[in-house]
Structure 1
Amino acid sequence: MEIRPGHLLQSINHPDDLKKLGREQLQLVCDELRQYIIDIVSVHGGHFAASLGVVELSVALHYVYNTPYDQLVWDVGHQAYGHKILTGRRDNFVTNRKYKGLSGFPKRSESIYDTFGVGHSSTSISAALGMAMAAKYKGEHRKSVAVIGDGSMTAGMAFEAMNHAGVADSDLLIILNDNCMSIDPNVGALKEYLTDITTSPTYNRLRDEVWNLMGKLPVGKNFSRDMASKLEAGMKGMVSKSSNLFESLKLRYFGPIDGHNITKLVDTLKDLREMPGPKLLHIVTVKGKGYALAEKDQTKWHAPGLFDKVTGEIYKKKIETPQPPKYQDVFGQSIIELAEQNSSIMGVTPAMPSGSSLKFMMEKMPHRAFDVGICEQHAVTLSAGLATQGMRVFCNIYSSFMQRAYDQVVHDVAIQKLPVIFCLDRAGLVGEDGPTHHGCYDIAYMRCIPNLVVSAPMNEQELRNLMYTAQLESNQSPFVIRYPRGEGVMPEWRTPFEAVTIGKGRRLKTGKEIAILSFGHPGNFATAAIRELRTQGIDPAHYDMRFVKPIDEALLHEVFSQYSKVVTVEDGTVVGGFGSAVLEFMNEHGYKASLRILGIPDRLVEHGTPKELHRECAYDAQGIADAVRDMMKETVKVSVSAGI
């Protein structure tokens, strides 16, 4: 199905083409751009509601600013589809998030208009401030603009950056895109604070009067500009206590204004472009704007998959037999079961209650499960504080987001040996979100920390049992449970809880000459590989190790005393991960064996479906079978294979 852009949009190959249009044509460009995003995403998939909400802003920014000389930083990249389409990637946008196609996020290697890679939130102000400071140092007159959502603004890093920006005396514009949403509805005092600004009738009336007055003053005269500035500041101080937060950080605050009024946006941005120094423009938008269903249920339409744009029907796979659940849903339902048995259990997540499925507990036990906003560091140390009081806290954070709270894991949890339970969702290769979201590194960065237990379930039953074990009173260590995005393997997954001996793996089958050691979900790939290999006369043993710290040394002694060839399989980096732990054991105990490590290679893996990426990295069933066949032909040696 060929998707054609509107007649104005098809003439825009870069922002210079946009600038040739008259102001009266901009609303039509916005309408065509919004429709083009709807058409593309409905057929090819991707993030949806966020980009619809900033269509007018995307057009206005590229119309007013001299991009790419003036530099735009989008926070986060969910909202940058319009930006990409306007900057030379319109005709290739059908490849968005597809294997070997465009990235779903701004990416420096993809376009000169993508000034900063932004897959994670709350980085834009720091990055744009760095650009502004560099421009000032080099004597350049380029402008720097950070577009940050109110959800991203909840993170401490955003406040750290604003605190510096106010005194850095650099030409920086922060645009606060306020829609009361990140992926789930925003939480916390900042949401109430922004609501107060946008709903104060006295403040808004006086603000409009001041802006009108400023527009009539001869801005070329310093006295007039100073007078307007003082009038504006005095009005804010008297009428809106809320605005004092930004003003107290020495950021000139403007707004709030309607983020869907293209004429107002263009006029405002032109004024602010000529105004030096750090400033913040507050715009109010609707996530999903222009598609009624997305406006009504913004969480559902954040990334809905393929859908019928006319009826709004979201296409789902036809299911004829019972299907395995998603690991996240097993977590979400199992923590409720455990919490019903153990009154000390609590749940914490940083802004991902839907993605992690902690939403189920939040709905059923709102006093025991908490969304703390996009604040991974706070989530970890909050959990540590609760643990000092005897609470058993399941802190659920995506693997790639846990990287942002590493110091807190070390300093606030591990050193104090507080039994916080870290459930790391989206471990391994997550698919279309690409390298900013792949959970490649947690095995390596967690197993080097003293006092931690680091585990991974092979299936849903094992996930339940590890969760049960972690919350037992007998466990007094911080406990990591990592599991992948997507479905498991057990349609009948709600099994009785059973305690697992910490540090003990499982022998799944014996074999001849060669053994496969797996960690986590890729053990299912190994099982499939073994079925194929046995038809070819090769009979590997299979061990599900369960724990990488403490690793089951008794089981490893068994393996290396019985098998001369060993393959390790993991969905983590081959550098410093599970395979490295096995290699360290082998070296320490003087075993001589041929060892091959399969996993994520020591390079950035781009986006694609999980199946495509597992194949590329050669640790899917085919890759494991190929490695075993290859090893059966080899003499004893150590090698690392990771689809390089």
Structure 2
Amino acid sequence: MPDDTPSRPKTPLLDRVHLPADMKALSDRELKQLADELRAETISAVSVTGGHLGAGLGVVELTVALHATFHAPRDKIIWDVGHQCYPHKILTGRRDRIRTLRTENGLSGFTKRSESPYDPFGAAHSSTSISAALGFAMAANLGGDPGDAVAIIGDGSMSAGMAFEAMNNAGHLKKRLFVILNDNEMSIAPPVGALSAYLSRMYAGEPFQDLKSAAKGMVSLLPEPFQEGARRAKEMLKGMAVGGTLFEELGFSYVGPIDGHDLDQLLPVLRTAQARATGPMLIHVLTKKGKGYAPAEAARDKGHATGKFDVLTGVQQKAASNAPSYTKVFAQSLIREAETDDKIVAITAAMPDGTGLDLFAARFPKRTFDVGIAEQHAVTFSAGLAAGGMKPFCTIYSTFLQRGYDQVVHDVAIQRLPVRFAIDRAGLVGADGATHAGSFDVAFLSNLPGFVVMAAADEAELVHMVATAAAHNSGPIAFRYPRGEGTGVEMPTRGIPLEIGKGRMIQQGSRVALLSFGTRLSEVQKAAESLTAKGLTPTIADARFAKPLDRDLILTLARSHEALITIEEGAIGGFGSHVAQLLADEAIFDHGLKFRSMVLPDTFIDHASPEAMYRSAGMDAAQIEAKVLEVLGVAVVGKRA
């Protein structure tokens, strides 16, 4: 039970709700009060932890209505993305831990199956909910877990092809299924594309709803000779921008649009749907992201993701930094390149702010393309731009690029098209956890023939890699960089293209060589300082390239040291695996080289601070130092163990 500290809101009704079953005895008037208290508690909790605020505030009434109507966990309530689930978590037995959101050993910021039976399907990427809900519905039909399946999906997520694949299949199967279209005219950034425009027209033209309803009843009242013509007129009317036509053509019964913040509308619609639906039904709900909290409503991103903040003012607590963020460095570098090269264009998949392309768009609006939540399309669109003579920078988070992998292989790599992949959020990302960690891109790109794969060791290197990508025209090229601030190194005024496949020496030492790929270089240097103080100075090199490898550098290090250790912020199968293959091909191991590869462990690492996550992964300075001593068999430096 929450305590009565002054910083927490008074929530007498919410204090009585420990699980959704406790809501069943509440009157509709009490449910409205519960929604108000739930909104206040959500704001209070996120002010302590930071997190996704606006999305949850936008679905407070919807969350209350769903749990008041359906019977979770028997009924499966599936939140698309899951970043709007904080109110859901409060109502489903996790209120006592809600102020641990996104912290080490605390609640996930998304839905998570292992966390609660009320999270039937885990999520953090978009557009998966309808497919999952249809799976639950069919499982129930075939004798699996009983209960209804309800998917809640935003209008931004509906722009992804997967959502329509699922709806097409659901319409074909004709099984009972509920899809709540949470239409807030916004995903992370304002949504783009024809679907968003269609939805806007749909609820802007509400008189068509009345006309459509009237048309359904009028045909039978006409004389027989006129009825066929009236039926054709009715079908023509349905073909206009009339509410629900698109969804009805996919086989769904359509209800809406309704006010998603009005329980007097939500409750009867959901209750009627729950009682009467026999096939797939889509309920179109209009909401406002950030609803009920003025600072979030006024924010450009509607309070999408916040740090800790003051509840009264909404002012966020952010630590000051003297170093620019990697994302901003990328954006500014790309702008400088584009100022002298009008072939450069930039593509993002609904993440202009997160990727820094909002800055590029402000400078070059006609050369910036936000394709919506559609990574597959983003990759192939970029391939088409490249084939058409442009220089596309396809800018996507590492974890989201996974969604476009077939297109990377089929549409880019095989055709050797010079698409430039700017891969943000490489490595472990902190509070967003395993679903957003950039763990696999080095492995899944480096195995593709003809691909160039780079990783920036610091923000200055990132500037040079943007220039390298801009100058590279002989095939696909990718460069990766992490979330957060740089290391504070001196910055070049302009990037200089790097020689493809060439690394750099950082420090000359003896006995052991540390070959870093990416931003672990700063931890490698810390480890080296400690080792040097103990009498052992290692050699340090920055690989820069996972593909093509710097063969000369690697073979020189291997032949002149007892041991070679690679360090990278990625899963097994990446840079270290390629180095090991080279050493094996060259028979270097036959001469007694001790080789180790430090990679992310073969597990998904839960949310914590990035520092804690890397410590858990065994990849901080102390653990790099320990690995050196272990490989050399040294207990006390200078003496064999």
| TM-score normalized by the length of structure 1 | 0.92
Which residue is equivalent to 2:309? 307
Shift of 1:5: 5.8
In 2: Cα distance, 1:163 partner to 1:419 partner: 35
Shift of 1:313: 1.5
Q: Secondary structure at the match of 2:254?
A: strand
Q: Secondary structure at the match of 2:311?
A: coil
Q: How does 1:360-439 map to 2 (within 5 A)?
A: 360-439=359-438
In 1: Cα distance, 2:42 partner to 2:213 partner: 33
Does residue 9 of structure 1 match 2:14?
A: yes
Stretches of structure 1 lacking an aligned partner (at least 5 in a row):
214-229, 636-644
1:69-88 per-residue CA deviation (whole Å, 9 max, x = no partner) reads: 11111011111111111110
Shift of 1:236: 7.0
1:498-541 per-residue CA deviation (whole Å, 9 max, x = no partner) reads: 12110000111111101101001111111121112211111000
In 2: Cα distance, 1:437 partner to 1:312 partner: 26
Shift of 1:244: 1.6
Q: Which amino acid aligns with 2:112?
A: K
In 2: Cα distance, 1:210 partner to 1:531 partner: 80
Q: Secondary structure at the match of 2:366?
A: coil
Residue 580 of structure 1, aligned match among 574, 577, 591? 577
- Quickly say closer, same or farther: Cα 1:208–1:65, change in 2 above 3 A: farther
Shift of 1:580: 1.3
Checking the alignment, whether the CA contact within 8 Å between 2:514 and 2:540 is kept in structure 1 is yes
Does residue 354 of structure 1 match 2:353?
A: yes
Does residue 608 of structure 1 match 2:589?
A: no
Checking the alignment, whether the CA contact within 8 Å between 2:208 and 2:242 is kept in structure 1 is no
In 2: Cα distance, 1:519 partner to 1:280 partner: 48
Checking the alignment, whether the CA contact within 8 Å between 1:75 and 1:118 is kept in structure 2 is yes
Q: Secondary structure at the match of 2:282?
A: strand
In 2: Cα distance, 1:183 partner to 1:317 partner: 23
Residue 126 of structure 2, aligned match among 111, 121, 124? 121
Which residue is equivalent to 2:558? 560
Q: How does 1:126-141 map to 2 (within 5 A)?
A: 126-138=131-143
Which residue is equivalent to 1:54? 59
1:408-437 per-residue CA deviation (whole Å, 9 max, x = no partner) reads: 000000000000000110010011111111
Stretches of structure 2 lacking an aligned partner (at least 5 in a row):
218-230, 636-641
Checking the alignment, whether the CA contact within 8 Å between 1:172 and 1:278 is kept in structure 2 is yes
Does residue 487 of structure 1 match 2:488?
A: no
Which residue is equivalent to 1:152? 157
In 2: Cα distance, 1:416 partner to 1:126 partner: 32
Which residue is equivalent to 2:281? 279
Q: Secondary structure at the match of 2:549?
A: coil
Q: How does 1:190-269 map to 2 (within 5 A)?
A: 190-205=195-210, 237=238, 240-241=241-242, 243-269=244-270
Checking the alignment, whether the CA contact within 8 Å between 2:290 and 2:302 is kept in structure 1 is no
Shift of 1:630: 2.3
Q: Which amino acid aligns with 2:253?
A: R
- Quickly say closer, same or farther: Cα 1:122–1:570, change in 2 above 3 A: same
Checking the alignment, whether the CA contact within 8 Å between 1:207 and 1:235 is kept in structure 2 is no
- Quickly say closer, same or farther: Cα 1:463–1:560, change in 2 above 3 A: same
The share of aligned pairs that are identical, in percent, is: 47
Checking the alignment, whether the CA contact within 8 Å between 1:461 and 1:495 is kept in structure 2 is no
Q: Secondary structure at the match of 1:92?
A: helix
In 2: Cα distance, 1:496 partner to 1:370 partner: 25
Q: Secondary structure at the match of 2:268?
A: helix
Which residue is equivalent to 2:319? 317
Which residue is equivalent to 2:548? 550
Q: Which amino acid aligns with 2:369?
A: F
Q: Secondary structure at the match of 1:400?
A: helix
Q: Is the deviation greater in 2-11 or in 584-593?
A: 2-11
Does residue 594 of structure 1 match 2:594?
A: yes
Runs (4+) of structure 1 exceeding 6 A deviation are: 207-211, 233-236
Checking the alignment, whether the CA contact within 8 Å between 1:253 and 1:279 is kept in structure 2 is yes
**Aligned-residue CA RMSD in angstroms?**
2.0
In 2: Cα distance, 1:588 partner to 1:352 partner: 42
Q: Secondary structure at the match of 1:612?
A: helix
Shift of 1:497: 1.7
1:577-610 per-residue CA deviation (whole Å, 9 max, x = no partner) reads: 1111121122111113112221210011111010
In 1: Cα distance, 2:539 partner to 2:83 partner: 44
Task: Number of aligned residue pairs: give it.
Answer: 611
- Quickly say closer, same or farther: Cα 1:357–1:564, change in 2 above 3 A: same
Q: Which amino acid aligns with 1:594?
A: K
Shift of 1:234: 7.1
